Amino acid sequence: MTQLAAQTALVTGANRGLGREFVHQLLERGVDRVYAGARNPQAIVVTDPRVVPLQLDVTDPESVARAVEVAGDVGVVVNNAGISVAAGVLDGNTAELRRELEVNFFGPLAITSAFADDVAARCGVVVNVVSVLSWLALGGSYSVSKAALWSATDSMRLELGPRGVQVVGVYMGYVDTDMTAGIDAPKTAPAEVVHQVLDGIEAGALEVMADDLTRAVRGGLQQPVDERYAAFLPGAV
């Protein structure tokens, strides 16, 4: 488990939605500083001196490298930045699929890799904002990108866990943000999602399911592992 008080945090995609709520609630939990990352840092509304707007494009290696130079004291990383382009996977529009993967999948990998040593030095936490669509594909490229991030989150945990880093995957259905503004369906408030995530961090959770739908879908995946494959699992005797 990771205690958030007195930590320094980095939140990507911090200019709106869940990212902005992460910044707000991290401050309430007593962090010393939050680097609020966004491609356009002028979009960050600063109302607390502990918030440091940070120009950060998770798809640009030079931007990521500059962020590490500025924010080398980070112990908490929240990989929140994401996009939805609603591309099909077989319509030949691979450019849009690649763009989505760059932000939703390769972006968290780049950020986590760049800050891994800093977070490990503080026995900190990496939070990946994923989705129930990792497991419940509705068609389109978004599910593909989030399924990839789910798998990557589990792999990150195997690599960073032995270094004392807590890696938390966050899974939820529709959240009431700009991204879902045109969708007529039940939505969870960003504040509720983030509150559950921060409680989970401090309780030592490795996964946070933010709504009933997600918990039900995740529960359906909890099947016993066939004994033929058990020997390949970490820690198997």
- Domains of the chain plus CATH, in order, are 8-230 (3.40.50.720)
**pLDDT value for 93:** 78
Nearest to 177 by CA among 13, 15, 18: 18
Active site residues: 142, 146
Is the pTM of the predicted complex or chain greater than 0.85?
A: yes
Residues of the chain with pLDDT under 50: 236-237
**pLDDT value for 140:** 83
How many CB atoms lie under 10 A from the CB of residue 50?
15
| Rounded Cα–Cα distance for residues 83 and 143 (Å) | 11
**pLDDT value for 144:** 93
Place of tokens 């990998």: 109
| Rounded Cα–Cα distance for residues 218 and 146 (Å) | 14
User: What token pair was written down for 152?
Assistant: 């990557």
3-state secondary structure of 169: strand
**pLDDT value for 180:** 63
